[in-house]
Structure 1
Amino acid sequence: MTQDVELIDLAVTFPALRFDLKYATADNIAGYAIYQEAKALLHPAAADALAKSIEIARLAGFSLLVFDAYRPQQAQWHLWDACPDKDYVVPPAQGSNHSRGVAIDLTLLDAQGQPLDMGTAFDAMEAESHPYHPNVPAEAQRNRLLLNAIMFGGGFVAMPTEWWHFELPDAKNYPLLDERFGCFAR
C-alpha cells in the first residue's frame, strides 16, 4: 500500500459532474451507510480518462452520474458481507480496483438530468445486471451500449457482470491505497 498518490476530488475538478454516492447512504446492497464521508476520488490517470468520457458524453447530449469511485478497503468487507459472491464483489483479501483509485461506478443522464433506463438498478447483483443480458429490454440495451462506448472512448474498460462499473485496462498494476476516508464499523 502507498500513501504517495494524490487522488483527484471529482467534485472539485469536475464541478458539472453529478453525484449520488450510494455507499455514503443506505441506498445500496448493504442497506446502510458504509462511508463516513460522501467523497468521489480517483487516481490522476483515471481522472484523466474520466475527463475524456465527460466530454464525449457532453458531445452526445448526455452527462454522467457517479455512484462510487475510490473505495476504502474496509468498505469491501461490508460489501462482501452483503454479497459474498466473487462474480459481483471482489473478495476483500484480493483488493478491489476501486481501492486502487482506478475504478468508477456511474450511469448516464439525459439532457434534462434524468437517469437513462439501464434495465436494473445500481448494485442489482443479478444476471440482468450483466452488460449484454438477453432479458434486458432493447432500450436499456442501447443505453448500456452508449454508456459503454462513452467510457471506452475515455479509456476505460467494462466488467462482465455490472453495467455500471468501469476501470482502467491495467487496473491491477496500480497498488492498493491506504484509506483516504473512514468507514462505519461492521
Structure 2
Amino acid sequence: MMRMRGPAPALRALIALAVAGAALVAAAPPAARAVSEPKAPEEFVALSSVDPTILHEMRYTAAHNFVGEPIDGYHRPVCIVTRPTARALRKAQRTLLRRGHSLKVYDCYRPQRAVDHFVRWAEDLGDERMKKEFYPQVDKSRLFADGYIAAKSGHSRGSTVDLTLVPLPAVKTRPYVPGEPLVPCHAPQSERFPDNSADMGTGFDCFDTLSHTEDPRIQGVQRANRQLLKDTLAGVGFVNLPEEWWHFTHKPELFPDTYFDFPVSRRSLS
C-alpha cells in the first residue's frame, strides 16, 4: 500500500501561519464603532439657508478667539439657530440693508462641549496666550467671578447670537495668523485687529466694562452704531445682554431650559 506523504515543510509553515492568523482574528475584539453624534432637533436651521446675505465670521472655528485655538464642537464655520431666530434675523437684515449695513455673526448655537472647553481654559491660569487682546485689564483668576466665563451658556439653547454691523460694501477681513502681535480689544479701531465691522468701541469678546452696551464712555459714532444694532434687533424680538454689546437672544425661546450638545456642522441638521 502506497504511503501518503504530508505537506512539504514550506507548505506546512504557511498552513501554520494561516491557522494562527485565523485564531488571532477570532480572538480580537470587535472593531470600535464610530461614535454617533447627537443631532439637532428639526426646529434648528443653518442661518444661511434662511438669509444668505448675512455675513459670517465664526470665531470659535479657528484660532482668533480668547482661548487661542479652535473650540471643541465647532466642526464647520456655520451659524445654526432655531428657525424663529433665523427668520427674525432675516427681518433685521432687510431693514439694515436699506441703511447701507449688513449683519455679521461671530457665534450662534454653541454646544455644551464648547462651554466645557471654555471652563477648562479658564481654570488653567498659566495659559494667557491671548490675554493682551481679549482681557488685557482683567486678571484671569477673576473670569468666573466677574461673569465672563460660566458653566452654562444661553447660546446652547439655540436662540442666542453674537453679531455686529458691517458697512456696505463689505471689506474682506484678513486672516488671523497665530502668534502675531496682539493689540488690546479696547484700543482705537485703527489699531485693533482689522475687522470689517462698524466701530463699536471695542472688538468682539472684549472682556472689559467698555463692552457694556450703555457704558457712558462710549460716545459719538461708536454709541450710534451700538444703538442702531440694538434698536434694529429689538424691533424683531431680540433682547440685548447689557454686559456685551454683541450678545442678543430672541424671545420667546423655543428651548428655554435645554442645553444642547450636537456639534456645529451641517451634518447635525435634520
Per the alignment, residue 148 of structure 2 pairs with 88
Normalising by the residue count of structure 1, what TM-score does the alignment of the two structures yield? 0.87
Deviates more, 1:139-148 or 1:8-17: 8-17
Amino acid at match of 2:101: F
| 1:7 pairs with 2:44 | yes
CA distance in 2, matches of 1:162, 1:103: 12
> How many corresponding residue pairs?
179
Q: Which runs of 5+ in 1 are unaligned?
A: none
| 1:43 pairs with 2:126 | no
Cα shift readout 1:125-165 (whole Å, capped 9, x = no counterpart): 11000001122242111100011011111210100110000
Per the alignment, residue 73 of structure 1 pairs with 112
Work out which of the two has the higher radius of gyration on C-alpha atoms and give 1 or 2: 2
Per the alignment, residue 126 of structure 2 pairs with none
Q: Select which of 253, 262, 268 maps to 1:179.
A: 262
Per the alignment, residue 125 of structure 1 pairs with 207
| 1:102 pairs with 2:185 | no
CA distance in 1, matches of 2:114, 2:162: 15
Q: CA RMSD of the aligned region, Å?
A: 2.1
How far does residue 85 in structure 1 lie from its aligned partner after superposition? 4.5
3-state SS in 1 of match to 2:224: helix
Cα shift readout 1:83-133 (whole Å, capped 9, x = no counterpart): 4346333x22xx322111100001001122141000000000110000011
Contact 1:70/1:101, CA 8 A, preserved across alignment: yes
Q: Which runs of 5+ in 2 are unaligned?
A: 1-37, 123-142, 171-195, 266-270
CA distance in 2, matches of 1:29, 1:102: 22
Identity %: 33
Per the alignment, residue 29 of structure 1 pairs with 66
3-state SS in 1 of match to 2:235: helix
How far does residue 181 in structure 1 lie from its aligned partner after superposition? 3.4
Deviates more, 1:17-26 or 1:31-40: 31-40
Deviates more, 1:52-61 or 1:102-111: 52-61
CA distance in 2, matches of 1:100, 1:55: 25
| 1:169 pairs with 2:251 | yes
CA distance in 1, matches of 2:59, 2:98: 27
Amino acid at match of 1:87: G
